[in-house]
Amino acid sequence: MKEYHVLRIFSEELQKEKRIFIYLPRNYYTSDSFYPVLYMHDGHNLFDDKQAFDKKSWGILEAFENDPSIPKVIIVGIETAGDSRSDELVPYVYEFEGVKYGGKADLYLKFITTNLKPYIDRRFRTFKSSKNTGIMGSSYGGLNSLYASLVYGSYFTRFGCVSGAFFYGGYFTKLKDLVKSTNLQSVKKFYMDVGTTETDDEKKNEEYIESNKEMYELLRNKVVESNLRFDLIEGGRHNEKDWEKRFPEIIKFMFND
């Protein structure tokens, strides 16, 4: 049965209420099993076209329904919508057209790690340890997941960075320096990708591709080779329709071990 749950949790860290979208494996209520957990950004875009930006979701419910070989994982989606999205997902303050964005990623990740995760672990049958906990997102969500691997590695060891937006705002150098100075030997799985046609802007496409390649080269020196995967998606675009196609293989890589 295709369904998901929605709850609301107040974040003291961000001083706002957050909608949380939760998918439980199909056999959750007919078994006593415990499950790994994947936290995903942009939770409103994951399960339901009616809730999703541009009325197209990642189609995650359908993916699990149609492909029984996908690992059984609890997925917890955190809403990151509207004007505050870039503030919460980007770790560094940057300026665009005279307006400042970013800088609240630590508050957002502290909400996940110290507020949301304990709640999920109490309410559902989860494997609580970091080795069974992942975090994943697209665009700025990919950036945030990478940042989580560098600063919140005691909570997560599985990371998904889809169409990572690393080059906006002039913070790429700071991010690269942080990668260079961080020990990532505890990473269980690290997936990243980028499409060859993320946007209709040829210059931005090159920036997407080159920044992702550069980040991958840095990570190759930090993460065990068999635990790291980088895919260049021919024709891949920056939208949920394309991310939906990649989702099953991403989850298999992140949690099949």
CATH code, domain with 96: 3.40.50.1820
Pairing of strands 133-138, 99-101: unpaired
Q: Is the pLDDT of residue 2 over 80?
A: no
Residue 107: inside a domain, yes or no?
A: yes
Residue 29: inside a domain, yes or no?
A: yes
What is the distance between the alpha carbons of residues 140 and 43, in angstroms, rounded to a whole number?
A: 13
Task: Output the pLDDT for position 98.
Answer: 86
Residue 139: inside a domain, yes or no?
A: yes
What is the distance between the alpha carbons of residues 190 and 216, in angstroms, rounded to a whole number?
A: 10
Domain that holds residue 96: 5-158+170-180+240-249
Q: Is the pLDDT of residue 1 over 80?
A: no
Residue 95: inside a domain, yes or no?
A: yes
Residue 78: inside a domain, yes or no?
A: yes
What is the gyration radius of the CA atoms in the chain, in angstroms? 17
* C-alpha neighbours within 13 Å on the C-beta side of residue 223: 26
Residue 206: inside a domain, yes or no?
A: no
Q: What pTM did the predictor assign? A: 0.97
Block residue for tokens 């749950």: 5
Read off the pLDDT of each residue in 13-17 and give the average, rounded to a whole number: 96
Banded model confidence at residue 96, pLDDT cuts 50, 70, 90: confident
- The overall average pLDDT reported for the chain is 96
Read off the pLDDT of each residue in 156-171 and give the average, rounded to a whole number: 93
Determine contact, residues 215/192, Cβ cutoff 8 Å.
yes
Q: What percent of the chain has pLDDT over 70?
A: 100
What is the distance between the alpha carbons of residues 107 and 89, in angstroms, rounded to a whole number?
A: 10
| Domain count of the fold of the chain | 1
pLDDT digits (tens, 9 = 90+) for 58-88: 999 999 999 999 999 999 999 998 889 999 9
The partner residues of 94 in beta bridges, in order of sequence, read: 101
Closest CA to 80 of 4, 145, 20, 150: 20
First to last CA, the chain: 27
